[in-house]
Structure 1
Amino acid sequence: MLFSDLSLSPALLKALPAMITVPSRVQQLAIPAILNGQDVLALAQTGSGKTYAYGLPILQRISQTSALSLAAVLIVPTRELAQQVAQNLQPLAQSLGLRVEHVCGGEAIECQIERLTTPANILVATPGRLLALAQQGVVTFSQVQSVVLDEADRLLDMGFINDINSLISMMPVGQKLLLSATMPAVLNELAQQILSATHVHIEAQVLNSAVDDIAQIVYHVNKGSKAQALIHLVQANQWQQVLVFVNAKADADALCKKLLKAGVKAAALHGDKEQVLRSQTLEQFKSGQFSVLVATDVLARGIHIDALPVVINFDLPAQAAVYVHRIGRTARAGLAGVALSLTSHSEMAYLEAINTLTTQALPLNELVGFAVTDKPLSGSSKRAPRDKQANRRTMNKRSASDFVKRKPTR
């Protein structure tokens, strides 16, 4: 099937990037239903083209109604995703004489209010900022035809359910689209609440699965050896672009310092960074100004980096579904990629959960030069015995001067 078989405008098709030639499965299934005005729940892998799956038909529907005001609202979980979706849709909108704008936290609301004085046909937004603008009367939804919840499961994971319910209550009856890579129970409940009973349910792949073109490798290493193992892998393979995921903001900064000390060009990205710095860092990574980006899950959803070859889980995520989204940063648009995970004894339960969710058994591999010497966790201890021994060894390495008898102070 070709895009020209989907009843899309020639102007839209001409505006598509040159590398986009054949519609993905989710695009083949979703575009006709959305063009027909139906509600849609689409489940598709990260990197499978969901933005164009809803963006193309929504733009076409707006162009056919000669809308002069806000006609579609796209709600996304993160600032980076809002920017990316707007950037992807902007050239397509321009081909039809339409305007796309985006608003999110991290930017002065006054600047956004000023931009919105020029009407936008499509608004891409994070929930909190959109609700604030709506409550101030800056954004009105009276002419909205379509509402999209992109990365819907992440919106719920991040606690946006109340904001979403408030926003939906302000919307007129119209088309509702939910798109996600996973289907937790809470998302199913939301779908039942806001979608019509005759909505189209699309599963473009095996639920909760990863893209076939991702080579998934799990290395079993000591917890204390992870940083050196990462440095070894990056240097030995001479990778020029690697996205590394950690679970905590402080860990991102600490790991970045270790990489820089080892001579690896790296930067950290997490929610405590100012939005301007976050955007700048991401653009520098995309352009190859440094080779390793250490990030928390602020980047796990929706961010597209052209031909990103390698994703590494320095920490396995506590939620198995997050693993699917993390590794989906590579092998996008039909390209191949590698997803490595550095796993210690304390993360085995997370690995089991990932295997269960994805219905695949990821074998543990030994990383040459990094033999596992830690002991498995026992039921009575939260830390591996080896870790406690390491602490005692560290204490014994203090200077001899620490043991010189000192006179008591008064």
Structure 2
Amino acid sequence: MTDAGFLSPKEIQIKTMSRILGGQDVIAVGPEGAGKTTAYVLATLMKLKYAFEEAPRALILVPDAEHVDHVLEQFKLLNRNNTFRILGIDSRGAVDTQMNEITDGVDIIVAVPDRARALYLKLALNTNKIQLFIVDNAELIVKKGLQLPVVELANSAYKSQHLVFTEVLHEKLNHMISPFMKESTTTIEVDEIGEAQAEVYQQMLYQVPNFRTKLNLLTLLLNDIEFFDKVIVFVNTRLTAQTVYKNFNHNKEGEISIYRSLFFDDKGYDDIEDFKDNPDARVLIVANENLDELDIQGIPFILHLELPEQKETLIQRIVKRIDEDVVAITFSTDIELIEVKKIEQAIGQRMEVMELPEDLKIVDAASKPKKKKNGEEEDTSERGAAFHEKKASNLKNYNYSAGTKAKMTYKNKKGLS
């Protein structure tokens, strides 16, 4: 380990290693760079015996070929004596060739889920001897829609110990792993955050199940016309900007507009300064698509309805350049939480997770709106990670809107009652 450059274990390695070696099922949650891959690679090398077996004894599932290469490099770094036969499997190799390689004998397989399942169905991959079933970067596997092969392979290796490593834990991921993780599973979370690189505006985060609910929440928040008097809403494409624009009830001409609209008949601006100068213009919808640098100074509310492809795009908008009161509000689904975590790591600060308004209509997978009545949900079975039970220390008996919360924050800063 010292020769490989590992001078001391990281927190997630300290907390998981003894449990893994002790045979427990483990869910390990930590940011990129926390040491998750090294933890299970080292544990695998320590747990498996050197005796030759006809079938593989460890199956590691990763989201894509790039991650296969990364894990193989980690094994190469730590498996100095080549005591184990390790095979990488992904779509770059021919199925017949991979079948022959497995038949020739292998101890540890690092594979993408869909190719591993294909080999299992062809009876080339024998899961009866698997002692360790590991899912790495589980959040990306869910994002790629590879849950079915993971569950099928895990159920086939029912005698094994199961380990799941992920950057975030949410409802869709829980739905994937719940069929095979034991009730005694230990969940370990390392919440590392770097030092703040720059001062940023006040950050608020709303977690919702899907885009339709995002639209409902956006409309509900911006109904507070008095408070949200000047708002810029960022989306990823000009087509999405049109969708958001049409979702509003346009009671006042010119109140809501699009920056460089896709269609000529929609109200829009080609120059953001015109939007700033017009007192009747309240909401400007801006697409990140082909967007040049935009001067948003002087706009008190910056909303990201969608997270941009590059986290730097969002970060540069929320860095505090002058002493002005600005609130940055981010909307996120379960799948987008990965990007939220990366942004938080980059700015060295957590976004404050906001309670959802009581009268928000939640749209489930069947596109049927659910509305909370008298503070109680009609049905919480499809609510998602944004609606998990909160720790006792986080329970609240109030439910402030974003506007009210921001007003309170401003008052506190200025020492007002």
Asked if 1:51 is matched to 2:33, the reply is no
CA–CA separation in structure 2 for the residues paired with 1:116 and 1:148? 18
Asked if 1:131 is matched to 2:117, the reply is yes
Over the aligned positions, Cα root-mean-square deviation in angstroms equals 3.9
Instruction: Specify the SS of the correspondent of 1:95.
Output: coil
- 2:150 corresponds in structure 1 to 164
One-letter code of the match for 1:323? E
Q: 1:314 to 1:212 in 2, by over 3 A?
A: closer
CA–CA separation in structure 1 for the residues paired with 2:162 and 2:16? 13
Q: 1:106 to 1:314 in 2, by over 3 A?
A: farther
- 2:172 corresponds in structure 1 to 186
Q: Which runs of 5+ in 2 are unaligned?
A: 202-231, 237-258, 261-286, 293-307, 316-329, 356-417
Asked if 1:322 is matched to 2:338, the reply is yes
Asked if 1:86 is matched to 2:82, the reply is no
**TM-score, normalization by structure 1:** 0.51
Instruction: Specify the SS of the correspondent of 1:55.
Output: helix
- 1:279 corresponds in structure 2 to none
Report deviation, 1:324: 4.2
Report deviation, 1:17: 1.6
CA–CA separation in structure 1 for the residues paired with 2:44 and 2:136? 14
Q: 1:156 to 1:214 in 2, by over 3 A?
A: farther
- The C-alpha deviation readout for 1:140-175, integer Å capped at 9, x for no partner, is 111100101111122122211211122122213120
Report deviation, 1:103: 0.8
Percentage of identical aligned residues? 21
CA–CA separation in structure 2 for the residues paired with 1:325 and 1:67? 41
CA–CA separation in structure 2 for the residues paired with 1:203 and 1:114? 39
Match of 2:106 among 116, 120, 135: 120
Q: 1:191 to 1:114 in 2, by over 3 A?
A: closer
One-letter code of the match for 1:178? V
Instruction: Specify the SS of the correspondent of 2:141.
Output: helix
- The C-alpha deviation readout for 1:120-146, integer Å capped at 9, x for no partner, is 211111111111111112211111001
- 1:375 corresponds in structure 2 to none
Matches within 5 A, 1:204-283: 204-205=190-191, 211-213=193-195, 215=197
- 1:103 corresponds in structure 2 to 89
Is the 1:41–1:191 contact (alpha carbons within 8 Å) kept by the matching residues of 2? no
CA–CA separation in structure 2 for the residues paired with 1:98 and 1:117? 15
- The C-alpha deviation readout for 1:329-378, integer Å capped at 9, x for no partner, is xx8xxxxxx569xxxxxxxxxxxxx834599xxxxxxxxxxxxxxxxxxx
Is the 1:30–1:53 contact (alpha carbons within 8 Å) kept by the matching residues of 2? yes
Q: Which runs of 5+ in 1 are unaligned?
A: 1-12, 226-246, 259-295, 301-310, 332-337, 341-353, 360-410
Report deviation, 1:182: 0.7
Instruction: Specify the SS of the correspondent of 1:101.
Output: strand
Matches within 5 A, 1:399-410: none
- 2:351 corresponds in structure 1 to 355
CA–CA separation in structure 1 for the residues paired with 2:354 and 2:180? 28
Instruction: Specify the SS of the correspondent of 1:215.
Output: coil
- 2:410 corresponds in structure 1 to none
Match of 2:20 among 34, 44, 68: 34
Instruction: Specify the SS of the correspondent of 1:28.
Output: helix
Asked if 1:17 is matched to 2:4, the reply is yes
Query: What number of residue pairs does the alignment pair up?
Result: 245
Q: 1:117 to 1:189 in 2, by over 3 A?
A: closer
- 2:250 corresponds in structure 1 to none
Q: 1:327 to 1:98 in 2, by over 3 A?
A: farther
